[in-house]
Amino acid sequence: MPNQNMSDKRRQSRNLKTAVVLFGVVGGMVGLSFAAVPLYQLFCQVTGFGGTTGVAAAAPGATGPEDQKVVVTFDSNVARDLNWEFRPEQRRLTVRGGEGALAFYSAKNDGTKPITGTASFNVTPYKAGIYFIKTECFCFTEQTLQPGQQVDMPVQFYIDPDLFTDPDTKDVRDIVLSYTFHRAADAVQPEQKTSAVATGDARPGG
C-alpha cells in the first residue's frame, strides 16, 4: 500500500509538470501569434527582407564617386477591388548615391463613389531594399479620391551610398520600385460614412 501511494504521488507530480509545460507552450504560441505581424514588419524594415524599403527624414547628399549611380524603374499595379487608374509619371530616373530624388505617380478614381485606397510597395532586387530610403511617400498614408478625381502623388527617396560598398549589393545598378494600390480594408469608405449619417437613429434632445 505504501508503494502504491508513492506511485500515485509520482504520477500526480508528473501530470502536474506536464500540465505546466503544456500551458507554457500554449501561452508562448499565443504570444507569438499576436507578436508575429509587428515583429515581421520590424524585421523587414531593419533587414530589407522582401524588398522592404527604409525611411529617413532627409537625404544626406551625394558624397561618393560620380559613377556610383543606380537606374530606378517605376512600376504600378492596381488590385481588382479598386476601380482606379494608377501609373508612374516617369518611367526611369538615374540617381546618384546619397542624392535626393523626386518622382510622381498619378492616380484617378474611375468609380462613381469616393474611395479610399492604400499602397503596398517593394523594390527588386530584394537585397537592395535596405538601401532604398524614402523621405516622403504617398504610401505612408491612405488616399481618398472623389469620383473622377485625378491626383499626382510624390515619392521622395535616395539610395544609401552603402549599397555600393556592401559585398552583397555593390553590383546592383538597376532597381525597380513597385507599388500596388488596394482598397483600404480597414478604412470606413466615405460612402459608408454618408450612409451611416443618413440612416442613423434619431435621438431626441434633452
**CA–CA gap between residue 80 and residue 202 (Å, rounded):** 37
Other beta carbons less than 10 A from residue 124's beta carbon: 16
163 to each of 13, 41, 98, 131, 173, how far by Cα in Å?
58, 22, 10, 6, 10
- What is the model's pLDDT at position 153? 97
* 13: its cell numbers: 507530480
- What is the model's pLDDT at position 1? 55
* 69: its cell numbers: 549611380
- What is the model's pLDDT at position 66? 86
pTM exceeding the 0.75 threshold for the entire prediction: no
- What is the model's pLDDT at position 195? 41
Give the SS3 label for residue 58.
coil
Q: At residue 116, what is the residue type? A: T
Give the SS3 label for residue 65.
coil
- Tell me if the domain spanning 54-188 has CATH number 2.30.30.40: no
Q: What is the largest CA-CA distance in the chain?
A: 90
- What is the model's pLDDT at position 64? 76
- What is the model's pLDDT at position 61? 72
Give the SS3 label for residue 82.
coil
Q: What is the pLDDT along the chain (206 residues), one digit of tens a residue?
A: 554 454 455 445 545 544 544 455 444 444 443 343 344 344 444 444 444 556 665 666 777 788 899 999 999 999 998 999 999 999 999 999 999 999 999 999 999 999 999 999 999 999 999 999 999 999 999 999 999 999 999 999 999 999 999 999 999 999 999 999 999 975 455 554 444 434 344 334 43
Domain boundaries, the chain: 1-47, 54-188
